[in-house]
Amino acid sequence: MVHSSWLCQNEPMKNLPGYLLKLIIPTAACIAAAFAIALCLAVPVPASADDDWRKLHEEVQAGRIKPLGDILDSLLRDWDGQVIDVEFEEDDGQRLYEIELLGSEGQVVEFEVDAVTGELLGIEGTNINGMRRQ
The CA dihedral of 64, 67, 59, 87, to the nearest 10 degrees, is -110
Verify that 35 and 52 share a domain, yes or no.
no
The per-residue pLDDT for 12 is: 52
- Judged against a pLDDT cut of 80, whether residue 131 lies above it is answered with yes
The per-residue pLDDT for 127 is: 92
Verify that 64 and 37 share a domain, yes or no.
no
Given a contact cutoff of 8 angstroms between Cβ atoms, the answer to whether 121 and 112 are in contact is yes
Verify that 71 and 93 share a domain, yes or no.
yes
Verify that 14 and 36 share a domain, yes or no.
yes
Check: pTM over 0.75? Answer yes or no. Answer: no
Verify that 57 and 16 share a domain, yes or no.
no
Angle at 26 (CA atoms; ends 25, 28), nearest 5 degrees:
65
The per-residue pLDDT for 17 is: 56
